[in-house]
Every structure is written in structure tokens, then in C-alpha cells.
Amino acid sequence: MKKQKQLLVLTALSLATGAAMAQANDTLARIKSSGVVNLGVRDSSGLAFTIGGGKYVGFHTEMAERIIDDLSKQAGKPLKINYQVITSQNRVPLVQNGTIDFECGSTTNNAARQKDVAFAVTTFVDEVRTAVKTSSGIKSVNDLNGKTVAVTTGTTSVQHLRRHERGANIDFKTVQGKDHADSFLLLESGRADAFVMDGSILAASISKAKNPKDFAIVGEVLSVEPIACMLRKDDPKMKEALDNSIKRQIKDGSLAKLYDKWFMQPIPPNNVALNMPLNESTKAAWATPNDKPAEAYSSKLLAK
């Protein structure tokens, strides 16, 4: 009898532990219970940025807010959004430790990150390019020989530049900005000759410059980057909820309208349009929603 009681106790403890673990991996349950979504946002990205006063805007930020509208319907009550500013360096750890429930900034879905986090279906496919001053004479990667290139700490852009076939025989120095705004400032102030980053981030940075016409995006496409919202691994319910909302926005045309708003129309803070028509890679990602990593795009880029 005593052994039976011990077995029952152990079984109960095991079930309780399992239930606790399941709860820990069920972000939707925690959101419904608390009524709050901790959303990771960026303050100086092409897809998500701030206009000051605690206001966060942009294509990916507004898309995330629409996702949360859908989560509210699923929860059966309005959900409050707690905007949490993240950086290139801390975004993965903050997702992993549960500080943020998911983030929609400018994060590339790649194989290395998939070991630590999960991604919703791709919502934008960016192209890594080079921003320079129009007076610099720089037109291609080869022109960066002997130059100083700004990159943002925690990003992969310089790796793509060094790996790029046209960059194999050039020698350049790199300087790091703590965030994208800082990296662009290095270019704007003359401390760097170029800024290598996702095209959307470069376009947004230029639009916010004192004199946007003084800058241009030039050169070869160094990498194709599938951008997606990032969430914790081993949380299939949360991933399904995010995927379903994004697919709904694609299907009903609202995501395309949102893209037009943030990339083709004048936007804050300077009321300048980025003039970035939807590219073919993004159209393809929307036509067949998937969470393929950047490595799946590499062979296509090399074939060009």
C-alpha cells in the first residue's frame, strides 16, 4: 500500500511538472491570462522604427499590431501591447528567456538562428546593398577597396560582403555602429565611406537624413534575406496563431495595402516616400507562405 501511495505521489508530481512545462511553452495561454502581449519592436529599422514620444511605427510594427488584434479575438478580450525596444544584439536572448512574446522588426530567418528560436512565415524578402554618398564615386563592391565600411553590431551584412565573389579581392576596413541609426551616422558624418545593410533599412535611413538626395543605394545584391517575426521555439500554438494571422493578411490584401502605405507613400518623420516597389522575391514568399531560412535562397542568388 505504501509503495502504491508513493507511486501515486510520483505520478502526480510528474503530471504537475509536465503541465507546468506545457504552460511555460504555451505563450498564448500566458497572454490570455495576463491580457498583455510583450511585443519586441525596433527603433531604427526600415521595417519598424520610432517617431518619438513612445510611438513605434512601420510596416512590421503595424503588421504585428494586426496580429495582436487577431490574438485578441482568439483570447476573447482586448489585449494590451507592451512595446519592448530590442536591438540586433539582444533580440534572440529576449525571445528565448520570455521577456518578449514575439518580435517583428527586421530579423533574418537563417539556419543558425533556427537552432535557438522559431520564425513565422516570411513577410518580406530584403536585399543587402550598399549606401554611399552620391559624391563618393562608389558604384560597386570593387570600389570599396581601401575604404571604410559601416556595419551594425550583431548583424550579418559584413559577412555577406566578405563572402561575395566580387568582394573576394578587395581590402576594406569596418567600423561598427551600435544600431542602424548609429551606422548611418558614421556614413553621414564621413567616418565611413559606405554602409552595408538590408535595402529597406538603407532606404529608411536615407529618408530620415538631413539631405536625402546626398545619398544613394548602389552596387550588387550581396544577399537575399527572408525577414520574419521571431518567436520562441517549441511553441507550436503561438507559431500557428502568428502564421494564420499573416496568411489572413496576405489573402485579404491588407498586407499589400500596408506595404504600399509604408514603402510607396510619404512616411514620417520627414514625409518622404521610400519608393521601394514590392520585389519579386517577396511576391513569391506571399504566394506560397513558408518559413524557409536564408540558406534556401542562396543558390538562387548565386545563379543570377
166-198 confidence digits (pLDDT tens): 666 788 999 999 999 999 999 999 999 999 998
96, 117 in Cβ contact below 8 A? yes
Listed residue (266, 261, 296) closest to 281, CA to CA:
296
According to the model, what pLDDT value does residue 19 have? 39
Cell numbers for 178: 551600435
* 291 to 47, 129, 203, 252, 285: CA distances (angstroms): 18, 23, 25, 20, 9
Listed residue (70, 71, 59, 52) closest to 104, CA to CA:
59
| Local structure of 14: helix, strand or coil | helix
Cβ neighbors of 238 (< 8 A, separation 6 or more) are 26, 27, 28, 101, 102, 231, 232
Q: List strands edge to edge, sheet with 148-152.
A: 173-177, 148-152, 194-198, 124-133, 215-227
Beta bridge partners of 57: 49
Report the distance separating Cα 144 and Cα 193, nearest Å.
8
Report the distance separating Cα 31 and Cα 37, nearest Å.
6
For every one of its 304 residues, what pLDDT tens digit does the chain have, with 9 covering 90 and above? Answer: 555 555 444 444 444 434 334 445 799 999 999 999 999 999 988 899 999 999 999 999 999 999 999 999 999 999 999 999 999 999 999 999 999 999 999 999 999 999 999 999 999 999 899 999 999 999 999 999 999 999 999 887 878 888 776 666 788 999 999 999 999 999 999 999 999 998 989 998 998 898 999 999 999 888 888 999 999 999 999 999 999 999 999 999 999 999 999 999 999 988 988 889 999 889 999 999 999 999 998 655 443 4
State which amino acid sits at residue 201. I
255, 286 in Cβ contact below 8 A? yes
Hey, what domains does the chain have and what are their CATH numbers?
8-125+227-303 (3.40.190.10), 127-225 (3.40.190.10)
* 3 to 8, 11, 12, 129, 156: CA distances (angstroms): 9, 12, 14, 68, 58
According to the model, what pLDDT value does residue 129 have? 92
According to the model, what pLDDT value does residue 95 have? 98
Report the distance separating Cα 86 and Cα 51, nearest Å.
16
Report the distance separating Cα 262 and Cα 112, nearest Å.
30
According to the model, what pLDDT value does residue 300 have? 54
Percent of residues in the chain assigned helix, strand, coil, to nearest 5: 45, 25, 30
Q: List strands edge to edge, sheet with 230-232.
A: 80-85, 36-41, 102-103, 230-232, 117-119
According to the model, what pLDDT value does residue 14 have? 43
- Residue spans of alpha helices (H) in the chain: 2-24, 27-34, 59-75, 91-96, 111-114, 157-163, 180-188, 199-207, 236-251, 254-263, 280-287, 295-303
According to the model, what pLDDT value does residue 165 have? 61
User: What is the separation of C-alpha 164 from the centre of its chain, rounded to a whole number of angstroms?
Assistant: 22
According to the model, what pLDDT value does residue 21 have? 40
0.85 exceeded by pTM: no
The DSSP letter of residue 211 is S
